[in-house]
Amino acid sequence: MKLTLARKKSIVGLIFVMPFLIGFTFFIAYGIITTVRMSFSDVIVAGATSGVEMSWNNFVNYINAFTVHPTFPEVLGTSILNMIIDVPLIIFFSLFMALLINQKFRGRTIVRAIFFMPVILGAPAIANALLAARAMMVGGVSPASPEVMASLGSNLNVDVNYYLYMLSDLAIPETLIGYIVDAVHRINNIIIASGVQIVIFLAALQSIPPTVYEAAKIEGATPYETFWLITFPMVSPLILTNVVYTIIDSFTTSPVVTLSYSTIFSDYNYGLGSVFSLISSLAVCLILVIVALILGKRTFYQT
Partner 1 sequence: MQSLSKKFNQLKNDPTISSKRGRAERKLKEWVFALFRTALVLGISYVILSPLIGIIASSFFSNEDNYNPIVYLIPQSPTLERYITSIMRMDYFTVLGNMMLYVVGLTVLQVIVCSMAGYGFARFNIPFKRVLFACVIITIVLPSHTIMYPLYTTFQTFNPLGIVGLFNEGSSVNLLGTPWPVIIMTALGVGLRSGLYIFIFNQFFRGLPKEIEEAALIDGAGNIRTYLQVMMPNATAAIVTVTIFSVVWQYNDNFLGRLFNVSDDILLSRRIGSLQATIANLDQIRDPSITTLYVYAGVVLMILPLLLIYIFMQKHLIEGIERSGIVG
The footprint of partner 1 on residues 18-37 (CB under 8 A) is 19-24, 26-32, 34-35
Among 111, 126, 291, CA closest to 199: 111
Distance of alpha carbon 65 from alpha carbon 70, whole angstroms: 8
Q: Which of 208, 216, 230, 295 touches partner 1 (CB under 8 A)?
A: 208
**Separation between Cα atoms, residue 183 and residue 181, nearest integer Å:** 5
In this complex, which beta carbon is closest to partner 1, that of residue 175 or of residue 302?
302
Q: Which is nearer to partner 1, 156 or 171 (CB)?
A: 156
Segment interacting with partner 1 (CB under 8 A) among 59-67, 76-84, 168-176, 249-257: 249-257
Taken as a whole, the chain contains a residue count of 303
Contact string (CB under 8 A) for partner 1, positions 161-180, x = contact: --------------------
Those residues with Cβ within 8 angstroms of residue 292's Cβ, 6 or more apart along the chain or in another chain: 240, 244
Nearest 5°: the CA angle 152, 158, 159 is 80
Among positions 62-91, residues that touch partner 1 (CB under 8 A) are none
Among 65, 76, 279, 284, binds partner 1 (CB under 8 A): 284
Whole-number Å distance between alpha carbons of 152 and 129:
11
For partner 1 (CB under 8 A), the number of binding residues is: 105
Which span sits near partner 1 by CB under 8 A: 60-68, 81-89, 166-174, 236-244?
236-244
Nearest CB to partner 1, comparing residues 95 and 204? 204
Report in angstroms how near the CB of residue 103 gets to partner 1 at its nearest.
7
Q: How far is the CB of 157 from partner 1 (least distance, A)?
A: 3
Instruction: Considering only the stretches 53-61, 70-78, 173-181, 250-258, report the one whose residues sit in contact with partner 1 under the rule CB under 8 A.
Output: 250-258
Long-range contacts at 69-76 (CB < 8 A, ≥ 24 apart): 69/272, 71/259, 72/256, 72/259, 72/276, 75/255, 75/256, 75/259, 76/256, 76/279, 76/280, 76/283
The three-class DSSP label of residue 175 is: helix
Among the listed residues 3, 85, 117, 166, the single contact to partner 1 using CB under 8 A: 117
